[in-house]
Structure 1
Amino acid sequence: MPLNASIVRADQADAADVAKMVGELLSEIMSTIGEAVFEFDRAGTELRTREWLADRSYAIFLARSSEVGHPMGFVTVYESYGLYAGGRFGTIPEFYVRAGYRSRGIGAELLSEVKRYGEARRWTRLEVTTPPLPQFDRTMKFYTSRGFQLSGGRKLKVDLS
């Protein structure tokens, strides 16, 4: 990995950096697909990040380097349950490497750390949803080159609040 980067587990002090990168991720997705599909509230995201890190319901891993004054990327994961999955498994809801640091192995290192984290918890699998294709075909290639397989279906949602 370049820039003497390391992968570290985030704590509550990292909430502002994580919230900023979540905003960057959502903005990039919306810009790429030309559709405003997310409403982003940075203060609310920072608050939720702090709460979920405190209660350990969410794990966040950051790519850091002493040569760079901010995180270069992050990945989030939480434990899910599914009878279809044979028990407990991990879900990756957010995964982002800042544009200037892509194609340098940082995403691969972040993903490797999440895999180690899941193996230590005896999860049966990891699941992730890509942003819309074909605009994010490169993202899909990243995942499939690291062992992820299509499992069918599409992500659907209904807002409850």
Structure 2
Amino acid sequence: MQLIQLKPEQSKDEITDYITKLFTELSGPDRVPDEAAFAHMFEQWSGDLRHWVYKLMEGDEVVGFFTLAESFSFFADGRYGIINEVWVEPKFRSQGAGRTILGHIKEFARMKGWKRLDVTAPAEEKWLRTYAFYQQNGFKLTGKKLKFLL
């Protein structure tokens, strides 16, 4: 399998397609950002060297994609990674593709010198398998995540 980095300048349409698939699967088509929202997100990302998007390919087929960001916390002993999005093409699920993606993410994290990776799995019961997947791959529960919308 081949890992390919996607840059916003060259890959907006492709990234938009993957994010659309992820949003549709997680929350339904009504939650997919509109064109203006995507444009705003890409504008915010432009020039930000702390956010990465990759796709995993098997020949000519996309196996999945993921996004990562870097953050900083004294509690986390400095800089650390956040897995923001992971999506695997349905026909590649339960075949080791997710584990392969996590392997690439962990290697990236080591190259960056991070000592920690954070990930949030969807809270709904239908996504318990995703939560279990991360635990099976070494992720530990660290507490409940909260958000405040502005």
**What's the TM-score bracket when you normalise by the shorter of the two chains?**
0.7 to 0.9
1:134 Cα shift? 1.8
Unaligned runs of 5+ in 2: none
Q: Following the alignment from structure 1 to structure 2, what is the Cα–Cα distance between the partners of residues 67 and 43?
A: 30
| Identity %, equivalent residues | 28
Task: Please state how far the C-alpha of 1:66 moved relative to its aligned partner.
Answer: 2.6
Q: Please say if residues 20 and 32 of structure 2, whose CA atoms lie closer than 8 Å, have aligned partners that are also in contact.
A: no
**Structure 1 residue 87 corresponds to structure 2 residue 44:** no
Could you state the TM-score of these two structures normalised by the residue count of structure 2? Answer: 0.85
The 1:144–1:15 alpha-carbon spacing in structure 2 relative to 1, beyond 3 Å, is same
Deviations 1:48-98 (A, max 9, x none): 347636432211110113332xx3311111111112211110011111112
Distance 1:158 1:54 in 2: 26
Pairs within 5 Å for 1:1-161: 5-12=1-8, 13-31=10-28, 38=31, 40-42=33-35, 44-45=37-38, 48-49=41-42, 52=45, 54-68=47-61, 71-153=62-144, 155-160=145-150
Q: Deviations over 1:103-144 (max 9, x none)?
A: 222221211111111111111200000011321011011111
May I ask how many residue pairs the two structures share in their alignment?
A: 149
In structure 2, relative to structure 1, the CA distance for the partners of 1:9 and 1:53 (3 Å cut) is farther
RMSD between aligned residues: 2.3
Q: Is the 8 A contact 1:20 1:42 kept in 2?
A: no
Relative to its length, the structure with more strand (as a share) is 2
Structure with bigger helix share is 2
TM-score by length of structure 1 reads 0.80
Is the 1:73–1:98 Cα contact (8 Å) retained in structure 2?
yes
Higher relative contact order (CA 8 A, sep 6+): 1
After superposing on structure 2, the runs of 4+ consecutive aligned residues of structure 1 that deviate more than 6 Å are none
Q: CA deviation at 1:15?
A: 2.3
Question: Helix, strand or coil for the counterpart of 1:14?
Answer: helix
Change (3 A) 1:122 1:52: same
